[in-house]
Amino acid sequence: MSLVLHKVTAAVPGLMLEVSTECGPGVTAVFGPSGAGKTTVLEWVAGLRAPTGGVIQLGDRVLHDSGRKISVPARLRGIGYVPQDLALFPHLSVRENLGYGRPAAAAPGFDRVVEVLELPTLLGRGIAALSGGERQRVALGRALLAGPRLLLLDEPLAGLDAPLKARLIPFLARIRDEFRLPMLLVTHDRYEVLALADRLIVLLAGRVAQAGTVREVFQRPANLAVAGLLAVETVQPGRIERRAEGLAVVRVGSVALTAVAGDLPAGAREVFVCIRAEDVILLGATGAAASARNRLPGVVRSVADTGPLVRVELDCGFPLVVALTRPACADLELRPGATVTALIKAPHLHLIPR
Amino acid sequence: MTAADWNLIGFTVVAALAGTLLMLPFGLALAWWLARREWRGKVLVETLITLPLVLPPVATGLILLRVLGRRGPVGGFLHRHFDLDLVFTGRVVPFVLAVMAFPLFVRSARVAFEELDPRLEAIARTLGAGEWRVFRTISLPLAARGLAAGWLLAFARALGEFGATIMVAGNIPGRTTTLSLAIYDAVQLGDDGRAFRLLGVSVALALGAVGVSEWLGRRRHRSRSAP
ipTM > 0.85 for the complex = no
**Residue B119 contacts A, CB cutoff 8 Å:** yes
Total residue count of chain A as it appears in this document: 354
CA distances from A333 to A32, A141, A301, A336, A337 (A): 37, 58, 13, 10, 11
- Kindly state the average pLDDT of the residues B205-216: 87
Q: How many domains does chain A have?
A: 2
Nearest CB to A87: which of B117, B137, B227?
Answer: B117
Q: Who wins on pLDDT, A346 or A42?
A: A42
Cβ-count burial A122-149 (b if 16+ within 10 Å, e if not): bbeeebeebeebbbbbbbbbbbbbbbbb
* Average pLDDT, rounded, for chain A: 84
Instruction: Examine the pLDDT at B50 and tell me if it is beyond 90.
Output: no
Total residue count of chain B as it appears in this document: 227
- Dump pLDDT digits (tens) for B131-183: 999 999 999 999 999 999 999 999 999 999 999 999 999 888 888 899 999 99
pLDDT of residue B220: 60
Instruction: Give yes or no: residues A307 and A319 share one domain.
Output: yes
**Residue B25 contacts A, CB cutoff 8 Å:** no
Q: Who wins on pLDDT, A167 or B208?
A: B208
Please give the single-letter amino acid code of residue B171. Answer: N
Instruction: Give yes or no: residues A214 and A279 share one domain.
Output: no
Closest approach of chain A CAs to the CA of B148, in angstroms? 16
Closest C-alpha among B84, B36, B41, B93 to residue B64 = B93
Confidence band for B226, pLDDT divided at 50, 70 and 90: very low
Q: Which of A214, A231, A248 is the last residue of a domain?
A: A231
Instruction: Give yes or no: residues A209 and A339 share one domain.
Output: no
- Kindly state the average pLDDT of the residues A22-28: 86
Confidence band for A24, pLDDT divided at 50, 70 and 90: confident
CATH code at B3-225: 1.10.3720.10
pLDDT of residue B221: 54
* Residues A320 and A280 sit within 8 Å (Cβ to Cβ): yes
* Residues B180 and B161 sit within 8 Å (Cβ to Cβ): yes
- Using only C-alpha atoms, chain A has a radius of gyration, in whole angstroms, of 23
Write the CATH number for A256: 2.40.50.100
Instruction: Give yes or no: residues A328 and A260 share one domain.
Output: yes
Confidence band for A286, pLDDT divided at 50, 70 and 90: low
Which range of A63-72, A104-113, A167-176, A284-293 scores highest in mean pLDDT? It is A63-72
* Residues A6 and A196 sit within 8 Å (Cβ to Cβ): no
Q: Who wins on pLDDT, A282 or A84?
A: A84
- Kindly state the average pLDDT of the residues A165-176: 81
- DSSP SS3 for A273: strand
Q: Would you call A81 and B123 a contact, using CB atoms and an 8 Å cutoff? A: yes
Instruction: Give yes or no: residues A208 and A249 share one domain.
Output: no
Q: Which of A196, A231, A266 is the last residue of a domain?
A: A231
pLDDT of residue B57: 92
Confidence band for A289, pLDDT divided at 50, 70 and 90: low
Instruction: Give yes or no: residues A247 and A120 share one domain.
Output: no
Instruction: Give yes or no: residues A223 and A299 share one domain.
Output: no
Domain ranges in chain B?
A: 3-225
Q: Give B125's contacts in chain A (Cβ within 8 Å).
A: 47-48, 73-75
**Residue B140 contacts A, CB cutoff 8 Å:** no
Instruction: Give yes or no: residues A85 and A43 share one domain.
Output: yes
pLDDT of residue A308: 65
Instruction: Examine the pLDDT at B71 and tell me if it is beyond 80.
Output: yes
Instruction: Give yes or no: residues A249 and A281 share one domain.
Output: yes
**A78-87, A191-200, B163-172 — which is least confidently predicted?**
A191-200
Q: Which of A189, A209, A231 is the last residue of a domain?
A: A231
- Dump pLDDT digits (tens) for B187-210: 999 999 999 999 999 999 989 988
Nearest CB to A79: which of B126, B141, B226?
Answer: B126
**Residue A85 contacts B, CB cutoff 8 Å:** yes
Confidence band for A220, pLDDT divided at 50, 70 and 90: confident
Write the CATH number for A165: 3.40.50.300
Structural domain boundaries enclosing A38: 3-231
Q: ∠B96-B100-B101 over CA atoms, to 5°?
A: 115
Minimum Cα–Cα distance from A79: chain B residue: B126
- Kindly state the average pLDDT of the residues A206-216: 88
Instruction: Examine the pLDDT at A106 and tell me if it is beyond 60.
Output: no
For chains A and B, what is the number of CB pairs under 8 angstroms? Answer: 56
- Kindly state the average pLDDT of the residues B18-26: 96
